[in-house]
Amino acid sequence: MQTTGSSPFTAGDTLMRMKKKNVLRIALFTVVLSLTACSTDDRYAGFTGDTGTKPDDETDVLTTANVRTYMVDTKATDETVALFYNLKQLAKTKYLIGQQDAFNGFYKNAGGDSDIKKATGSDPGLLGSDFMFITDDKNDGTPNNQWYHDQEVKITGDAKAAYNKGMVNTFCWHFREPYAGVSFYADDLSADVKAKAFASILPDGENHAYFKKKLDKIADVLNNLKGDDGKLIPVIFRPFHEFDGSWFWWGASYATPDQYKQVWQFLVTYLRDTKNVHNLIYAYSPDNSYATESAYLNRYPGDTYVDVLGMDNYGDFSSGSASGVSTANSKLSMISKMAKTKVKIAAMTETGYQVTSANMPLSGFFATNMYNAMTQSEVQLAYVMFWANTETGYYVDPSGADFKTFAEKPESVLQKNIPSMYKLPQ
C-alpha cells in the first residue's frame, strides 16, 4: 500500500484511495555455485535465531564465507552482508513482523509507543519507511517548504532509532511522475503522461537526468544514514513495487517488461557503482497477481540485481475466506521455493486488512489466516510487513487480542526477541 500514514498528503495521496487497487491481478533461472571449504555443520553454527536443524534443500549453499557472491552488491558493508545472511537463516524457522511508519502512524492519532508495542509490549522487528517526501520536488531546502525537510529528518530519525534498537529497516519509494512531480497514481495523470512517463526515465529518455537527480538524493541520505555505533545502516530498498498492476505510473500498462528491467538495472548500477551506496539490499515486489514462476519472473531484472523475492498481497486476504488463505499460501510457497533455488530472501513485503468505520474486523485475520498462509506448505519467509495505521483506520489493532496471539506464535519475531542481525555468526 502507499504513502506514510502520519502526515497530510497532496491531492491524490490519501490512504483510502490506495486501497482501491484492482485485487483481481493475480525459465526459472537456477543458481548453482560451489560450496566453500566450510563444513556442513559450520554453515549453521552460531546463529542465534537458528534452531540448529539442517536445511532440507540441497540448493541451500549459503555460508558466512560465500554470502557476498549471492548478493547484488559484492562490496556491501559488513553489516549489510550480515543482514542478508541472517535474514536468510531466520526464515528457516521464524519471520520478522513489521509495520509501515510504525513510529509515526497511530490509530486515532494516539501517539507515544508504536501501535504494535501497545498491542504486544514490543516494537516491531521491521520498520517500513518511504523515500516519497524525501525525493519530493518541494524538498529543496527553502523555508517555504520546510515541512518536507522536517519529514526527511523524521523519517531518517526513525530509521536510526530502529537500527539502534536492533530492528531492520525497509524503504519503499512512491516516486512522483517526472513531468509535474505531483502524483504517483496513474489515475491522476493524463493519457499522454501515462503513456510516456516511464520510458522518459530510461537512459535515453527526456527525464533521465531528473531520475538521476532523485537517485542522487536517495544516495546522499543512505550514505549519511548512520547508527549510534557510527556504522552505515543497512536498508532493504523496494523501488517500483506492485508493478504488475496499473495504479502506479510504473505499472504494467505503462512499461514494457524490457523497460522495467532496464530502469531497475540502471537504478542498481547507478546507486551501487556511481554513487557508492553499499548499504542496500534490493527487493523485487510485485502485487499478488502471479500464480506461476514464469509469470512472476516476467519483469524480473535478473539474479544479479535482486536480493529479495517479495510479494505484496492484500487481495487474497480481503474476504477472510479459507480459499483466499490457501491461494495466498500457494503463492508464498512458490516464492519461498524460488528463493531457496536462487539463494535469495523470501518475504511478504506488504499486506494487511484495513479496519475502519466501514470495514469491520475479519475474525482470525492474524492468528489464523495470516499465520496459516505464512507457515503452511513449508513456506520460509524472512519477514511480513503490515501497512500503516492512521487516525481513521488500522492494520494493526493496538488493543487487539488476535494480533497479540499472532505475535506470540513461536515463529514471530518482534524487537524484544530479535536476534543479532548485523553481525555474522562466528
CA atoms within 13 A on the CB side of 59: 15
Query: Across the chain, what does the average pLDDT equal?
Result: 89
Q: Is 373 inside a domain boundary?
A: yes
**Cβ–Cβ < 8 Å for 325, 372:** yes
CA 304 vs. chain centroid, Å, equals: 18
Closest C-alpha among 413, 416, 382, 383 to residue 165: 416
Total of domains in the chain? 1
CA separation for the pair 84, 81 (Å, rounded): 5
Q: Is 97 inside a domain boundary?
A: yes
Q: Is 156 inside a domain boundary?
A: yes
**Cβ–Cβ < 8 Å for 227, 273:** no
**Cβ–Cβ < 8 Å for 413, 377:** no
Q: Is 42 inside a domain boundary?
A: no
pLDDT digits (tens, 9 = 90+) for 24-79: 333 333 333 333 333 322 322 333 333 333 344 444 699 999 999 999 999 999 99
pLDDT digits (tens, 9 = 90+) for 189-232: 999 999 999 999 999 999 999 999 999 999 999 999 999 999 99
Q: Is 46 inside a domain boundary?
A: no
The range of the structural domain enclosing residue 256 comes to: 15-23+59-417
CA separation for the pair 169, 178 (Å, rounded): 27
- Cα R_g (the chain), whole angstroms: 20
CA separation for the pair 19, 178 (Å, rounded): 24
| pLDDT at site 1 | 52
CATH number, domain of 313, equals 3.20.20.80
Tens digit of each residue's pLDDT, the chain (426 residues): 544 333 333 333 433 334 333 333 333 333 333 333 333 223 223 333 333 333 444 446 999 999 999 999 999 999 999 999 999 999 999 999 999 999 999 999 999 999 999 999 999 999 999 999 999 999 998 888 999 999 999 999 999 999 999 999 999 999 999 999 999 999 999 999 999 999 999 999 999 999 999 999 999 999 999 999 999 999 999 999 999 999 999 999 999 999 999 999 999 999 999 999 999 999 999 999 999 999 999 999 999 999 999 999 999 999 999 999 999 999 999 999 999 999 999 999 999 999 999 999 999 999 999 999 999 999 999 999 999 999 999 999 999 899 999 999 999 999 999 999 999 998
In the structure grid, which three cell numbers stand for residue 166, read together?
536492533
CA atoms within 13 A on the CB side of 161: 17
Which CA distances in Å does 175 have to 2, 37, 128, 135, 263? Answer: 11, 44, 16, 8, 13
Q: Is 90 inside a domain boundary?
A: yes
CA separation for the pair 375, 211 (Å, rounded): 39
What pairs with residue 248 in β-bridges?
A: 185
Q: Is 359 inside a domain boundary?
A: yes
